[in-house]
Amino acid sequence: MKFEMLANTKRVLMAAAFFGTVSLASAQTDKKETAAKAETAVTTQVAVQTTPEIEGLKKQVAANPKDAEALSKLAVAYQNASDWNNSLQTWLQISTLLPEWAPAYYSQGIAYQNLKNNESAKAAYEKYVTMVKPEEVEANKKNLAYAHFFIAYALFETDKNAAKTHIAKSLQYDPGNTDAQNLSQSLNG
């Protein structure tokens, strides 16, 4: 039963990793700018409306805070409502419950990106790419390609050799990605 629940939870969370809008912003170099952007992101999140789905899932999680499946559904519901702060907090809870489960780190990266915290997004994506098990690579190629692309983009100005390594990995997983191809040309041109 526990294995089946974990397997179901993993399937839900894998699907959840594909939800949400991903925006790519330039790397932040100034701590004041980073703090100001984080404060702005927090301020804008206050206006996010709740939904009946979110309210129902919050009750479900309150009744059983270790229900990873309910938590993942809640995190996705927050993402769908563009409530990135709550989405992030929920994905962090999932990582505490399932620390070996890679897609939670990918979803944290998405949330951090939408909160304009590119340093934390990069760290989450780095954790994600190291956590994907060899037998999970095929199912995670699209997310691995994006994670490596984002890391390469974030390293573009500061560590071109590491950026080249990551963009090569991105293209290995998704050779047709024109953004990755363009970044590769910029790095290797």
| pLDDT tens, position by position, 152-170 | 999 999 999 999 999 999 9
Indicate the pTM of the whole model.
0.75
Q: Based on the domain organization, do 2 and 86 belong to the same domain?
A: yes
Residue 189 falls within a domain, yes or no? Answer: no
pLDDT at 14 over 50: no
CA 47 to chain CA centroid, nearest Å = 22
For residue 159, what are its two tokens?
């560590």
What separation in angstroms does the CA of 66 have from each of 36, 97, 119?
Answer: 34, 7, 29
Average pLDDT (9-15) is 41
pLDDT at 39 over 80: no
| Residue at token pair 């050799």 | 161
DSSP secondary structure of 64-117: -TT-HHHHHHHHHHHHHTT-HHHHHHHHHHHHHH-TT-HHHHHHHHHHHHHTT-
Amino acid at residue number 162: A
Q: Based on the domain organization, do 95 and 145 belong to the same domain?
A: no
Res 47: pLDDT: 55
User: What is the pLDDT of the chain when averaged over all its residues?
Assistant: 82
Res 49: pLDDT: 76
CB neighbours of residue 148 within 10 Å: 26
Residue 126 falls within a domain, yes or no? Answer: no
Judged by DSSP in three states, 180 sits in helix
pLDDT at 66 over 70: yes
Residue 150 domain boundaries: 132-183
